[in-house]
Each structure stands twice: as structure tokens, then as C-alpha cells.
Amino acid sequence: MEPLLRLVNVKKSFGDIQAIEHVNIDIHRNSVIGLVGGNGAGKTTLLRLMSGVYRPSEGIVELDNNRPVYEMRSVLGVVPESTGLYSKLTAWENIRYHSRLHGIDDQLAWNRTYRFAQLLDIEQSLHRYTEGFSRGMKQKTALLRALAHGPQILLLDEPTGGLDVTSARTVRTLVRKLKDEGGTVIYSTHHLAEAQQVCDRIIIVHNGLIQADGTPDELLTLTQTETLEEAYVSLTSETARPRMEEAKKSSKFAALWRRLFTPSGNMEVIEDE
């Protein structure tokens, strides 16, 4: 079976920083793939490459028609870690605006939206302004927005981060239903238990490299461990690098500002009496 999405010898660098190196991944239809890794591992960079937001410094990221993914972004549904909703619009207006950008008829978008809104239990809030939404409600709205145009692949960046238990469970239920209906989901998370619940394949990313790729059982066999947590620790024993944002060089203005206003190490310390 031909993969739906392919990454071949992909590398992504930002100046001297190597964010992703030597990545080869095939994504097949009707699957939920977990990208698991800590902060700074490279998960978000990998998702942005898969979604066409970033172009690789080397290698190719292409869909099954051999076209670069950045030319076919309309077949993707993306839920970033920051939802980016327009607070002065209702949930439905946010979704409709996004769907119109994809050329989707309002009635078709509404039918899809309402169906999934029922599964997420927010159908009564579609005509409310998102300004007053909780984090869980915003995340659910972002999910509906990503699904309304009928994408072939859904990419989720930490979809349950900061959600309460009930909302997180609802999101996981939706992901499993999408898979049951033949959908393909790429699910980025740093929660191993969550990945084990929803993913039939787990890709462990550490320091910009793919450390392992397989089913939960295959990862346990590979590492001769009994739990995914033990497997993860075994596979990521190398010290984690700092987050990319922390590694960026400061601007000349920022460096000057620190020199002017940061106390020097030889200043006298006056203790409270």
C-alpha cells in the first residue's frame, strides 16, 4: 500500500541549529500515529514540516500523488497548540470562515461541524462568541474548524494540553472515531499513557532524531521493558537538548539591554535585617 504522506531523508535547520535530522517516515491511511517526545525534542518542527508550514532544508515531504505537501495543504486539517481563534466571532463563524477559505459550501461545512460538535458535546455553543470560551471549548472549536473541510489527514499538536479530564477524554474519543471511519491522525503528545490509549503506532522523537517507530508492543520488545515509560527512558537516555527558542542567539539590542540593566556579579548584596 502506498503511503498517504512520506518524509524522505528530511532535515530542518535554523541557522546553526539542527532541529530535525535524517527523518524517514511513511504515514498510511486509517491509522493514528503518535509523535512522542519531551520539550525541544523536535515534535512541533516535525508537525510543521508535515503540514507544509515549514519546507525541509534537505529531503522531501510529499503526499501520495508525489506532490510536495506545501502545495496540497487543503487536504490537511491542523490543530496547533495555540488555537488562534478570532475572539469577536462565534465558534461557527470561525469555522465557516476557515471552510470558505477551502472553498467548502456553508451547508456542507455546517453539516460536518454539527455532527462532530455533537460528539464533542458543544453543539449548543456554536453560536456563542469564543471570547468567553474556556480552554477546553477553544480546543474543541479548533478541532471542528480543522475537520469542517473534510481533510485526508488531521494533525494535532498537544491536543489535550491544559484540558480537564472530561474534555481530554472527549478529544481522545473523537480521534478514535475518526480512525474507525477510515481517517488518518498524527497526534503529537508528551504523555505516554495518552499515546498508548489512542495510537496504534508510536514514533519517539528525541534531540531531533527518530529513536524508535512501532506499535506499543514492538517498542516494549525492542527495549525489553514492561511499560512504555520504561521503554521511553531507555530510548532517550541521552541528555535532552534545550528548546530551540532557548538556543537562539540574542539580538544585539537584547544583549546590550542585559548589560545595561543586569546587576554585575561583584555588586554588594545587602541582606534584610
| pLDDT in 10s for each residue of the chain, 273 residues | 788 999 999 999 998 888 999 999 999 999 999 999 888 888 889 999 999 999 999 999 999 878 888 888 888 999 988 888 999 999 999 999 999 999 999 999 999 999 999 989 999 999 999 998 988 899 999 999 999 999 999 999 988 877 888 888 888 999 999 999 899 999 998 888 888 889 999 999 998 999 999 999 999 999 999 888 889 898 888 655 555 544 445 566 666 556 655 555 444 444 443
Helix or strand or coil: residue 53?
Answer: coil
Domains annotated on the chain, with CATH: 5-247 (3.40.50.300)
Q: What's residue 65's pLDDT? A: 76
Range list of β-strands (E), 15-57: 17-27, 32-36
Residue 128, pLDDT score: 95
Q: Are strands 201-206 and 184-189 parallel, antiparallel or unpaired?
A: unpaired
| Angstrom distances, CA of residue 159 to CA of 28, 68, 70, 266 | 21, 26, 22, 47
For residue 233, the tally of other CB atoms under 10 A from its CB is 13
User: What pLDDT was estimated at residue 270?
Assistant: 44
